[in-house]
Structure formats: structure tokens, C-alpha cells
Structure 1
Amino acid sequence: MAPKVLFVLTSHNKLGSLDKPTGWYLPELAHPYHVLHNKTDITVASPKGGEAPLDPASVEAAKDDVSVNFLKNNESVWKNTQKLDDFKGKAADFDAIFYVGGHGPMFDLVDSPTSQQLIREFWEAGKIVSAVCHAPAVFYNAKLSDGSLLVAGKEITAFTNAEEEQAGLTDAVPFLPEDALNKASGGKFVKAAEPWGEKLVVSGRLITGQNPASATAVGEAIAKALGV
């Protein structure tokens, strides 16, 4: 039987105090989906369920074939998401959880009690816990049953301060993923030599990728960890 993976998308569509739309980032769903959809059984959830907002800026930016084809042929993946709440207590039914990036998760997933419960349940059930770009920020304050931080002492990566600055959105986010994760991990945050470079970090069952360029590598790392 194919391993089961729970993909988590944001339901948040407005960029902080800016009057700009946001959401999840196209290549960060398209590429891992492309790698995994023939090898695993994928379920997609979001805080509100239903249609999860796609960041229009990511459609403009992502001209690669995988992203373009996904956008054209896989609308049902993000338009019919299930409610994240419905998966509490169900980690045993899955083999991995994967958080898709974009600025949206910074607003509705990072401090979500439901999300934090899922992360704890998946981790403590021995499952793979993974995310890319802004989404690893959801782990910054995720605590295990003993009160310790999930990421304490573990190497981790996410969208960097330099990348946020170059995107011109440093002031739009509630905090910077690099700063929060570097603190929570005890200085174990790592990144590519240059902004926008590919960076994959596998710390046992914790798999993170730095940016859109790292999305395929994250998908491949999940597949490898699942043995498919």
C-alpha cells in the first residue's frame, strides 16, 4: 500500500498590513506533488478547508514546466481541501506531514493550536515532519509532550532574512523565519551560500527546504524517507 502524506496549505490570503494578496506558493506545492503523487497517497488540508488561496505573485514568478502543468491540470488539489481540524488524533493514519510555503502560513499556521497539535502528534508517532520556504516557521514554537521545542538542537532551514529583504517584505511578516528558527534550534539554522540557492536539510525525520528552488529536493527527501 502506498504511504500516506498529509499536505498542509494556508487559508490566509492577505499580506499583513499591505493591501496585497498572498497565500501558498505555486512551485512549493507543484514540485513536491509532482515528485510524490505517483508514489504516495496525498491528502490536502487547510485551516478553513475548501479552496486554499494561491499567491498570484507565485504564478507570475513560476514559469517552469512542472508549475505551469500543475496549475493547468491539478486545480482540484487546492480547491477542495479538507479541514485541518479533522486530522487531529489521526497521525497513525499517515506516514508524513508536509507544509507548503508562501507568506500565508506566517499568519494562520505558525501559532495555530491545531497545527501545533498535529506536528506534535506526527512527530511523537514516529512520522516524517516536513516543510519548505516560509512554512518551516510553523515549527518555531511547536512543543513536544514534555514541553521541549521540537526543533531544539536540530539543524533546520527556511526562507532567509536576506531573501525576505530582497523580496521587499521584511516589514510585512510578523517575524522572520530565520531569526525565530535559529533561536528555537539553538543556533542550528543553516542556509545556502547565496540567497535563492537550493538548500535541503534532513535532521532525522525533520525535513526542511530553504526556498522555492529547494521544493523538488524536499519532495525527493520525503520519498526517500518513505522508501518509495
Structure 2
Amino acid sequence: MKSKPSYAIILLLLLSIQVFAQKATKNINPMKNKKVLIVVTSFGEVGNGAKTGIWLEEFTTPYYLLTAKGFKVTVASPAGGKAPIDPKSTIGDYATASVKRFLTDPAAQQILNKTLNLKTIQAKDYDAIFYPGGHGPMWDLPQNSYSISLIESFFNEGKPIAFVCHAPAALKNVKGKDGEYLIKGKIIAGFTNSEEEAGQSTNLVPFSLENMLKDRGAKYVKGKDWEPFAVQDGNLITGQNPASADLVAKKIITILSK
């Protein structure tokens, strides 16, 4: 006659199953459920015929950092479709490791070739919003009503809003709940006048980013020209130049990891 298993053995088995389930749950990457919206420019050529667009490093470095951590990344632009890349950002010393990786990564290239139209995006579907720079964003994002509305929604919901280099231009006409400019009184970084002059690119922008931020009442701060520098004021994250893209992305990751 077969003996029945003791209650002690059954209890031990149940406890073992519970411990295994708890360990399995801990091993699940919580960031795989987080979604980051990257907004890029659709503006690719200034009036003098010079080509512009996204400064590629400012997209590729955060893109690879975010996806490596398991975040789902969606890319949108004012016009949708193929987003222009500043050709200068793909050559010589400007072609950083992440840029070179992108240029041999058809899947990532396809994401920039098929961006979603901003007007189809809803803030409730994402956990953070990030804007890479380049001169392009200074032309088509400051006045874009969909971009303005998204930034206001993300900010008011306490979600991270992040910008690097020239991308803080998108904040130019964004307002807070009090009707004041959102950046008024906030610590913010962005491409400096001295960097613009050193890069001989003052003719490629419609206004001075540094001056605009100051005029809107921001507490503008900066590091050394061309050196990585990023700041955070609540859920507002800004970086000074292309080299700051890494710092900005890591600040987004830190917030979303909490």
C-alpha cells in the first residue's frame, strides 16, 4: 500500500514554488514596460540652401542607451516619415561610436525613416519625452502646437521632459498651468552663444538659443564649451551640446528606474 505524502512535504513544495515565483518576478526588467517618446525635427534645409536636421549623435547615443536598458522607444516628428539628418554630423570626428553604429544598423535607420506624425501621438501612452537637437529643431518645433501640447502634458503629469543642445528651442512657447512660460525660473542648459560662434553656425539658426532662454526667464547655466554638461530641475532635463546627450539619457533612465 502506497503511503500518502505528509503535510510537511506538501507545505515544503508550496513554499519552494512561492520562492521560485518571487525570484522570477524580481528578474523581470521593469523598464521593459516603460515607453520613451523621442521627438525629432522635420526641417532639413535653411534658406541659404545649407542642409540641416538632426545632429545624429544627439539621437543615436540616447537611443542606444535607452533601448539597451529595455525601454521601448517611439520616434515622432512634425511631418512624420523620413527625418532629415545633418550630413555634417555623420563625418569625421563628429561620427562618434554611436553614430558609426547607427550607420551600419538598418533597423535603427528605418526608425528615423518612418517617424510617426506628432499629431497622432498622445502623452498618456508614454512615460517620458526626449528631444535631440541639431539646427533643425529651432525652425519647426518652437511653434508646433502638437509639440507644445505634448510637452505641457508630460510636464503637468510629472513625467520627464528632456532636451539636448539646440532642442530646448522647443520650449520657447510652452507655458505652465499659471500661464507663464514653463522655463521661467527653472534651471536650464542649452547650446551657448560662444559655441554657436565658434562653430560658425549663427547663420543657420533663426534666433540665439541662449538669449531666448534668458529672455523667457530661465536660470540659464552652462559648462565649458563642447564639454558634457547637463542639469535637472524637477522633471525638466537639459544638456548643453552634443557631448551632453549621454548625460541627458542617463538622467532619464535614473528617473524612470525609480
TM-score w.r.t. the length of structure 1 is 0.94
Matches within 5 A, 1:123-162: 123-162=155-194
- CA–CA distance in structure 1, aligned partners of residues 61 and 204 of structure 2: 26
Give the alignment partner of residue 168 of structure 1, picking from 183, 200, 205: 200
Give the alignment partner of residue 20 of structure 1, picking from 32, 44, 50: 50
Instruction: Specify the alignment match of 2:237 in structure 1.
Output: 207
- CA–CA distance in structure 1, aligned partners of residues 95 and 85 of structure 2: 15
User: Following TM superposition, where does structure 1 have runs of at least 4 consecutive aligned residues deviating by more than 6 angstroms?
Assistant: none
Larger fraction in helix = 2
Q: Per the alignment, in what secondary structure is the counterpart of residue 63 of structure 2? A: helix
Deviation by residue 1:74-95 (Cα, 9 ceiling, x = unmatched): 21120110001111xx222111
Instruction: Specify the alignment match of 2:39 in structure 1.
Output: 8
Which range moves more in the overlay, 107-116 or 5-14? 107-116
TM-score w.r.t. the length of structure 2 is 0.83
Structure 2 segments unaligned to the other structure (5+ residues): 1-31
Supply the AA of the counterpart residue of 2:204: A
Instruction: Specify the alignment match of 1:177 in structure 2.
Output: 209
Deviation by residue 1:4-30 (Cα, 9 ceiling, x = unmatched): 110001000012x32111000110001
Q: Percent identity?
A: 43
Instruction: Specify the alignment match of 2:78 in structure 1.
Output: 47
Instruction: Report if aligned partners of 1:156, 1:185 keep a CA contact under 8 Å in 2.
Output: no
Matches within 5 A, 1:52-201: 52-60=83-91, 61-73=93-105, 74-87=108-121, 90-186=122-218, 188-192=219-223, 194-201=224-231
- CA–CA distance in structure 1, aligned partners of residues 58 and 103 of structure 2: 12
Deviation by residue 1:61-110 (Cα, 9 ceiling, x = unmatched): 423222100222021120110001111xx222111000110000011101
Instruction: Specify the alignment match of 2:252 in structure 1.
Output: 222
> What's the offset of the Cα at 1:116?
0.8
- CA–CA distance in structure 1, aligned partners of residues 129 and 96 of structure 2: 25
Structure 1 segments unaligned to the other structure (5+ residues): none
Which range moves more in the overlay, 5-14 or 143-152? 143-152
Deviation by residue 1:30-50 (Cα, 9 ceiling, x = unmatched): 100111013211110001111
- CA–CA distance in structure 2, aligned partners of residues 207 and 213 of structure 1: 15
Q: Per the alignment, in what secondary structure is the counterpart of residue 50 of structure 2? A: coil
Supply the AA of the counterpart residue of 2:232: V
The root-mean-square deviation of aligned C-alpha atoms, in Å, is 1.3
Deviation by residue 1:175-206 (Cα, 9 ceiling, x = unmatched): 111111122134x10011x2111110111100
